[in-house]
Chains A and B, each alone.
Chain A
């Protein structure tokens, strides 16, 4: 299988912080519309692509939003103060570039601090080069959101970019959607607002009420220098989630996924994430319980502007998801 690198690049580079996912949803819609029977949107903005069928009702969830910043105040001198959208490591943002929905770019600056430990959101600001408040307001206003800039690079087997979390999950879902051959009825849900609390997924699961659900997201790795111990590494295959803070995948679901991977010779690894959660969290507790699993793409430097994935893991995830849905 060869990956559609251009599509992956387009997905990661599109603007889409939580609450402003529409541009990403448009791109996905254009890719999948000829392969679904029905595309709908719910009250929160999730996009649901249905492939009709007679067998089990399965829901796939991949989130379209990325972390970002929201403008809360404009100083008289034209600097923008902000709050964070999702889990942003503020210490890592100084000097980085951000992009607004209308294409305006800015740089993140910081007040003078005596101690690095004092770095907090309220000491930071965005500089879009405006000379004063009036000029700034021509381009940006309070309530506008910005995404981080992080260009896409291909380097051998590895890909580097911002927002692989979870645009790579969306890509995996898109590839499977296009190539799926099954009698099951599958709902591919491109969810919103995952980064601010896995909010979109629960609403979608409530409406669809599937028999089974699979979330596709990223997970960290333990293969960098003096990393926190974790048995997941880049290039070792699709990660089958055992547990994170939002879900303990039921042993029977986990075993089922392992069996499928083994049967079809798909490289896989087992994942325990000690912090963080995914859309599967709220989904598996909806309406009296929905059996759910997670396929994770191993990613280094999650929530930075240079997340890194391995092409082999992406391919393995596509294969695994396809076979799980076809069962």
Chain B
């Protein structure tokens, strides 16, 4: 399954080589033009029957991860987060380190040896370390270097019947949506930018948009779903099973209400389930794209995912399918519904 292949690749912000080559090899037969820009974004374009409007779609290839900060005298590794990793999920997990992907474990003080108060506080980055089995700094440095990337060791699985569990659903699931979209033929020219370094500050997107210069942009993300036990209803940003989530507002963009109303109309007319992304925190590539050059009308549509930025995120397969449907319909209706 393509989603399995995409999510199991280890490529964090600044280390996107592997995922870029994989996506490139998959989409090449479906597009007219492929290039890699100066930041490493993979831009793939298809001509349409018409010349305008030019539509840009974007999903980011990078995942969050960790980086070797220093090697300690006892051979263990101290590390820092790459992108927004919640330090509370790290202890007692397995990781892969460096280019050779050697095995490591994030260990912890056994409970028997802990004081009562210690159990109450999460371990911060200064107290966490990775054990690769080296017995000295010298030995460790034979296998790893400062600045090496560290990845979550986590496989793709089907959960229940219709759910998937994997690392990096944010945003390999978005990449998957756009790969499916690229297999179709459209009236209008479309460019899909598989961007880099979104997780460390939406770094690739603006540069990609600078080159593409679209008339309209659609960002496809894997976004936070907080529909779990005991969640406060009004703080549930999106829910699994309710369809693609349309963004209203986040830290980096305020989306055009008139365009959103039209997309709702398209979804309802075509009986595609949809929901709104109902929180204003977080951000995505739209933040940079919409402010590129003289401004670009941009919207964001996301597949809801539980537990993003951790070792095991969960998504609902029908939401993925409906997101592909909705994006496809938006492109087809761009002139008919005067979205620009």
Task: Assess the A142–B254 pair: CB atoms within 8 A.
Answer: no
On whether the beta carbons of B234 and A72 are closer than 8 Å, the reply is: yes
Chain B residues, Cβ within 8 Å of A83: 249, 279-280
- A145-B261 Cα distance, complex, nearest whole Å: 14
B243-280 interface bits toward A, Cβ cutoff 8 Å, 1 = contact, 0 = none = 00000110011111100100000000000000010111
When A70-B280, A122-B232 are in contact, do A202 and B248 touch as well, CB less than 8 Å?
no
Please, which residues of chain B bring their CB within 8 A of the CB of A203?
Answer: 291, 293-295
Q: Are A143 and B257 in contact (CB under 8 A)?
A: yes
A143 touches B248 (CB 8 A): yes
Q: Tell me the chain A residues, 1-52 only, with Cβ under 8 Å from chain B.
A: 18-20, 42-46
* A207-B294 contact, Cβ under 8 Å, with A20-B257, A84-B280: yes
**Which residues in A have their C-beta under 8 angstroms from that of B257?**
19-20, 143, 145
Distance between Cα atoms of A122 and B231 in the complex (Å): 13
Q: How far is the CA of A293 from the CA of B337 in the complex (A)?
A: 41
Cα A18 to Cα B248 in complex, Å, equals 12
Distance, CA A199 to CA B234, complexed state (A): 28
CB neighbours (8 Å) of A196 from chain B are 249, 254
B290 touches A44 (CB 8 A): yes
Q: Mark A71-88, 1 if CB is under 8 A from B, else 0.
A: 011010000010111000
List, in ascending order, chain A residues with CB within 8 A of B293's CB: 203, 206
CB distance from A287 to the nearest CB of B (A): 9
Does A193 reach chain B (CB closer than 8 Å)?
yes
In the complex, B31 has a CB within 8 A of chain A: no
Q: Chain A nearest CB: distance from B223 CB in Å?
A: 14
Interface residue ranges of A184-206 to B (CB < 8 Å): 193, 196-197, 199-200, 202-204, 206
Among A20, A83, A143, A200, the one with the most B-chain Cβ atoms within 10 Å of its Cβ is A143
Interface size on A, residues (CB 8 A): 30
Is B248 a contact of A142 with CB atoms below 8 Å? yes
Which residues of A lie under 8 Å from residue B235 when comparing CB positions? 122
A84 and B248 CA atoms in complex are apart in Å by 12
Interface check B29, CB cutoff 8 A: no
Indicate with 1 or 0, residue by residue over B8-19, a CB within 8 angstroms of chain A CB atoms. 000000000000
Set of chain B residues within 8 Å of A84, measured between Cβ atoms: 280
Q: Which residues of A contact B233 (CB under 8 A)?
A: 73, 75
Bound complex: CA A204 to CA B293 (Å): 9
By the criterion CB–CB under 8 Å, are B254 and A73 in contact?
A: no
Cβ proximity bits B276-288 to A, threshold 8 Å, 1 near / 0 not: 1011100000000
Query: Which of A19, A43, A142, A145 meets B295, CB within 8 Å?
Result: A43
Q: Are B296 and A19 in contact (CB under 8 A)?
A: no
Closest partner residue, chain A, to B276 (CB atom): A142
A43 touching B294, Cβ below 8 Å: yes
Given A42-B295, A85-B254, A142-B248, 4 further pairs, Cβ under 8 A = A19-B256, A43-B297, A70-B280, A72-B234
8 A-B contacts (beta carbon < 8 Å)? A44-B295, A72-B248, A73-B236, A85-B249, A145-B257, A197-B252, A203-B295, A207-B294
Residues of A participating in the B interface, judged by any CB pair closer than 8 Å: 18-20, 42-46, 70, 72-73, 75, 81, 83-85, 122, 142-143, 145, 193, 196-197, 199-200, 202-204, 206-207
